[in-house]
Amino acid sequence: MEPMSHDQPLTKEAILDAAEQTLRRYGPDKTSVVDVAKALQVSHGSLYRHFPSKAALREAVTERWLQRIADPLQIIADGTDGSATDRLRLWTDTLIRAKRTYVLEDPEMFAMYASVTLEAVKIIDTHVNLLIGQITQIMDQGMRAGEFKPGRPESAAKAFFMATSLFHHPAHAYQWTSDGIEAAFESVWTLLLAGISMNG
């Protein structure tokens, strides 16, 4: 009867909080729904009412984690201060810094994210499209202001995202701590800016 008293206030947010803590403790491969239920002091059956499988729970945790990355980037994309070039650089630096921070300081969550990217294509597609949409906003602002060359903002945004993927896609995480990574990014940035800038 003890677990039932905890079932009433059980929310998806509480489950996701507990799942994150459990994932950090045991790692993504060893964490089970039962472990999360124990952390919440509820029956695992009550978790299945919210998430029908371990995969669904992992995806929900990853989705929330990705939202934490996307939210600060949206603020930058929505901004109007300074030049579009400055906002584009800030947006890119913020994305790269967030991914690197997770690799170094939250490796269990990053490992889960990296594995989910291979399984949950829809979630990742949604995230990527959101990020490309943010770049599109900045590209559009720059084109309207005469700062960037005229063209199709979304096409430019997709190309920019793909061209910088070495620095933020989880498949390349092992390269992010290499000695030449900063210089490599500066070379890519300079080339891309030359391609889109009216002064390029």
pLDDT tens-digit map of 60-118: 888 888 898 999 999 999 998 899 999 999 999 999 999 898 888 777 777 777 777 67
Q: What pLDDT, on a 0 to 100 scale, did the predictor assign at position 200?
A: 61
pLDDT interval class at 51 (50, 70, 90): confident
Tokens representing 124 are 């990742």
Q: What pLDDT, on a 0 to 100 scale, did the predictor assign at position 9?
A: 67
Residue 197 has pLDDT above 70, yes or no: yes
- Asked whether 58 and 118 are in contact (CB, 8 A), the reply is no
DSSP string covering 78-91: H--SS-HHHHHHHH
How many CB atoms sit inside 10 A of residue 118's CB?
Answer: 10
Residue 147 has pLDDT above 60, yes or no: yes
Q: What pLDDT, on a 0 to 100 scale, did the predictor assign at position 10?
A: 81
93-110 residues labelled b (16+ CB within 10 A) or e (exposed): eebbebbbebbeebebbb
DSSP 197: B
Output the average pLDDT for the chain: 87
What residues does 197 pair with on adjacent strands?
148
Residue 10 contacts by C-beta under 8 Å, 6 or more apart in sequence? 40, 42, 46, 50
pLDDT interval class at 32 (50, 70, 90): confident
